[in-house]
Structure 1
Amino acid sequence: MFAEKGFNAARISDVADAAGVADGTIYLYFKNKEDLLLSIFEEKMDLLLAGLREALDGVTEPLEQVRTFAHYHFRQVRDHRELAEVLQIELRLSNKFLKEYRPQKLWEYLSIFAEIVRVGQEQGVIRKDIDPFMAMWAFFGAMDEMAMQFILAKHRKFSLDAAAETVSSIFIRGLSIPEGRGQSLEEA
Structure 2
Amino acid sequence: MKKNKPKYHQIIDAAVIAIAENGYHQTQVSKIARQAGVADGTIYLYFKNKEDILISLFQEKMGSFVEKTGQIMNEKSKASDQLLLLVENHFSFLSEDRHLAVVTQLELRQSNKELRLKINEVLKEYLLLIDRILQGGIDSGEFRSNLNIRLARQMIFGTIDEMITTWVMNDQKYDLAASAPEVADMLLNGFSA
Q: CA deviation at 1:57?
A: 2.7
Match of 2:51 in 1: 34
Which of 53, 63, 66 pairs up with 2:80? 63
Match of 1:167 in 2: 183
Q: CA deviation at 1:170?
A: 1.0
Match of 1:117 in 2: 134
Q: CA deviation at 1:161?
A: 2.7
TM-score of the pair, normalised by structure 1: 0.85
Match of 1:184 in 2: none
Which of 153, 156, 169 pairs up with 1:152? 169
Please give the alpha-carbon distance, in whole angstroms, between the structure 2 residues aligned to 1:113 and 1:159. Answer: 24
Identity %: 35
Match of 2:115 in 1: 97
Q: CA deviation at 1:129?
A: 2.2
Instruction: Give 5+ residue unaligned stretches, structure 2.
Output: 1-17
Q: Is the 8 A contact 2:156 2:187 kept in 1?
A: yes
TM-score of the pair, normalised by structure 2: 0.83
What SS is found at the alignment partner of 2:130? helix
The alignment's C-alpha RMSD in Å is 1.7
Confirm whether residue 137 of structure 1 aligns to residue 141 of structure 2: no
Confirm whether residue 23 of structure 1 aligns to residue 40 of structure 2: yes
Q: Is the 8 A contact 1:115 1:132 kept in 2?
A: no
Q: CA deviation at 1:50?
A: 2.0
Please give the alpha-carbon distance, in whole angstroms, between the structure 2 residues aligned to 1:162 and 1:64. Answer: 16
Q: CA deviation at 1:102?
A: 5.9
Q: How does 1:47-86 map to 2 (within 5 A)?
A: 47-86=64-103
Please give the alpha-carbon distance, in whole angstroms, between the structure 2 residues aligned to 1:161 and 1:151. Answer: 13
What SS is found at the alignment partner of 1:159? coil
Larger helix share, 1 or 2? 2
Please give the alpha-carbon distance, in whole angstroms, between the structure 1 residues aligned to 2:81 and 2:119. Answer: 30
